Amino acid sequence: MRAIVYHGPGKKSWDEVPDPVLIDDTDAVVRVDAVTICGTDLHILKGDVPAVTPGRILGHEAVGTVESVGSGVKNVQVGDRVLVSCITACGACRYCRTGQYGQCLGGGGWILGHKIDGTQAEYVRVPFADTSTYPVPAGVTDEQILMLADILPTGYEVGVLNGHVQPGDVVAIVGAGPIGLSAIMGSRLYSPSHIIAIDLADTRLQAAKEFGADLVINNGREDAVEVVRAMTNGLGADVAIEAVGVPATFELATQLARPGGHIANIGVHGEPATLHLEELWIRNVTITTGLVDTFSTPTLLRLTEGHQIDADRFVTHHFGLDQFDEAYDVFARAAETGALKVVLTR
């Protein structure tokens, strides 16, 4: 089969590689029907994720058809259409027993395209198939469901739920990439009074408006803290969500939240960020961080099936599986190309 193989920082190619096979009896092999690229794959290609070693097949998001299953797989059958989640779950360890699959101790967690070969391929081996895949409901498209592999649960769990978004809240979201936009979509389920999106790229702010932001701020031109305080009687946002992953935006998020408010960090940080405890201690804020667990995937599947969330909106570009080079290029130049999510189908 063919797959996107990582060959060290800056290098990847669509190579001929051996087909994956069942290794453990709880594995499934899935034929990849639709796959996408994540911002995290770009981090890997920059060399920011050293756990990914040369020779690794990239990708942690897919929708596909089950090709074969091990003897220990009970619920997944050959021919089933499944979502392959970015998080794999053994289902039995201390963390899996409490729905914290991202922290799985039994060999799961974020492993696809990280510690084992991933989904940017014609076929993928999925460990713990019963607890790491989800049946695709009838009546929804592969590409809608593909958005549930990573971005939608991430924005919802690590942003909206960790941030405790409540009806009537003012929610300020720093970063309007796919993750920030997912946080907008997830926040709207709770009827906030205002959603404010903050980004440096006008293309992304335009997308934020289309996703339902009530106000957008280009923080390259405007002081976001001043604008948010002016519209909240000087208090600040009830919830500030960080969806970028650099020190400046974490510090901005902490300044945006009102006393007693929540600051939910989603961004993956590669360098230390300053926590201004000398200013924050008296403000009674709650700061959360997290890797997505994907415990919300069944909820998001029902919301997608019921048309309460419109996952199609994220998909800006379509490619064939053999057009990965073009797809990576368009996705990497998002500010110019307007790319949110690119989908490759067989």
Ligand X SMILES: NC(=O)c1ccc[n+]([C@@H]2O[C@H](COP(=O)([O-])OP(=O)(O)OC[C@H]3O[C@@H](n4cnc5c(N)ncnc54)[C@H](O)[C@@H]3O)[C@@H](O)[C@H]2O)c1
Minimum CB distance to Zn ion smaller for 219 or for 316:
316
Tokens of 273: 């960020």
Which of 6, 28, 39, 132 is close enough to bind ligand X by CB under 6 A?
39
Instruction: Fill in the amino acid letter for 283.
Output: R
Q: Could you count the other beta carbons within 10 Å of the beta carbon of residue 287?
A: 17
CA dist., res. 237 & res. 180, Å (int): 16
The continuous run of DSSP H or E covering 170 comes out as: strand 170-174
Footprint on residues 93-152 left by ligand X (CB under 6 A): 150
Minimum CB distance to ligand X smaller for 31 or for 43:
43
Which of 96, 126, 145, 311 is close enough to bind Zn ion by CB under 5 A?
96
Instruction: Fill in the amino acid letter for 282.
Output: I
Which of 178, 186, 192, 261 is close enough to bind ligand X by CB under 6 A?
178
Do the beta carbons of residue 26 and residue 128 sit within 8 Å?
yes
- 3-state DSSP call for residue 182? helix
Instruction: Fill in the amino acid letter for 153.
Output: P
Residue 78 DSSP symbol = T
51 lies in the binding site for ligand X (CB under 6 A): no
Give the nearest distance from C-beta 172 to ligand X in angstroms: 11
> If binding means CB under 6 A, how many residues of this protein chain bind ligand X?
32
CA dist., res. 201 & res. 185, Å (int): 19
Instruction: Fill in the amino acid letter for 249.
Output: T
Part of the chain binding ligand X (CB under 6 A), chosen from 53-61, 72-80, 169-177, 256-264: 169-177
Minimum CB distance to ligand X smaller for 20 or for 177:
177
Minimum CB distance to Zn ion smaller for 196 or for 244:
244
Give the nearest distance from C-beta 90 to Zn ion in angstroms: 3
What residue has token string 């994907």? Answer: 294
> Bridge-partner residues for 240, per DSSP?
172, 263
Part of the chain binding ligand X (CB under 6 A), chosen from 37-45, 75-83, 115-123, 298-306: 37-45
Which of 70, 106, 137, 212 is close enough to bind Zn ion by CB under 5 A?
106
Which of 154, 255, 297, 304 is close enough to bind ligand X by CB under 6 A?
154
CA dist., res. 281 & res. 118, Å (int): 43
Which of 3, 37, 38, 57 is close enough to bind Zn ion by CB under 5 A?
38
Which of 3, 22, 29, 90 is close enough to bind Zn ion by CB under 5 A?
90
Footprint on residues 318-337 left by ligand X (CB under 6 A): 334
SS3 content of the chain, % helix, strand, coil (to 5): 30, 25, 45
Start-to-end C-alpha separation, the chain: 12
Footprint on residues 146-175 left by Zn ion (CB under 5 A): 150
Minimum CB distance to ligand X smaller for 107 or for 290:
290
- 3-state DSSP call for residue 56? coil
Kindly list the residues in this chain that would bind Zn ion in the complex (CB under 5 A).
38, 40, 90, 93, 96, 104, 106, 108, 150
